Amino acid sequence: MTERRVQGPQERAVRKDIRRLASLDGAESYAAMAIELAKTLDAGDLEAAERSRLTSELRKTMIELSRTAPKKPATDHLDELRQRREQTRATGT
């Protein structure tokens, strides 16, 4: 039986940020790189200079990912209620 790998804090944060994006169209490689960099940071055993370099690279990768991939539109419960009300008025039910 294979053991389930536990995600570290960096990887969890990166995956959470990626889930906020509407699509990864054209940005899959940035997402994959960000996850791998986060896994490496979580693994530890890095010298300070290497940790700094990887952190900087992860930051740059996440910035590029956010520029490349569209974000999900923010939804508001009031917007949803307004939309339902308009639909009800339009259909007369």
Number of helices and strands in the chain (H, E): 4, 0
With a cut of 90, say whether residue 2 has pLDDT above it: no
The mean pLDDT of 23-50, rounded to a whole number, is 91
State the pLDDT confidence band at 93, using cuts at 50, 70 and 90.
low
Q: Where are the domains of the chain?
A: 9-91
Q: Give the pTM.
A: 0.70
Q: How far apart are alpha carbons 51 and 21 in whole angstroms?
A: 26
79 or 16, greater pLDDT: 16
Tens of pLDDT, residue by residue over 44-90, are 889 999 999 999 999 999 999 988 877 666 666 777 778 888 888 88
- Helix intervals (H) in 20-69: 28-43, 48-68
